[in-house]
Amino acid sequence: MKLFTRRRRAKRLEKELGTGLWRQAHDRYVRGLDRFHQILDGVEDDEVHNQLVVIGDELADRLPLVYSLCQQAHQRYPATEMRVPAGAQMLHSALSRAANHLATTAEAEAMLRLNHGTIEAVRHRADQVLQNLNEAEAALGGKTREM
């Protein structure tokens, strides 16, 4: 990515997500996705790789939702630091759990890559991510418009 493109994107993220809690929530999800795809690159078994691609795509398809949730949270509950604003506890908790489960999804994927795990374990963790995102959406008050 070019320097000016990165700078424009960073300014847009700062404007729309702030610099505190909601930006961190978004960035943690992005880092989890990056980790998932880094591990995926090392999977040599084609059948397992293809199954993991489907799961990874499903999680990546939720990134616009995460962005929208964090953007709306920043508008509704501005936070310039890491303190959770009153009324935003359930939303923040669900977003935080989604990012944590995404990290454990990548961990389960790494175990599978090393032949010490199962695709079912990866699927289970990914389902937890999706469930937490549904909970975050509900905490914000229903259907969220994706960007």
Give domain status of residue 77, yes or no: yes
- Token output for 16: 């729309």
pLDDT attached to residue 129 = 98
Total domain count, the chain:
1
Amino acid making up residue 113: R
Task: Kindly state whether residue 132 falls inside one of the protein's structural domains.
Answer: yes
Domain that holds residue 59: 12-139
Tell me if 146 is assigned to some domain.
Answer: no
Q: Quick one: tokens of 54?
A: 């489907």
Q: Is residue 97 part of a domain?
A: yes
* Residue 25 within a domain: yes
pLDDT tens digits along 26-47: 999 999 999 999 999 999 999 9
Residue 144 lies in a domain: no
pTM here? 0.87
Distance set, CA 76 to CA 59, 70, 80, 87, 91 (Å): 25, 10, 13, 10, 11
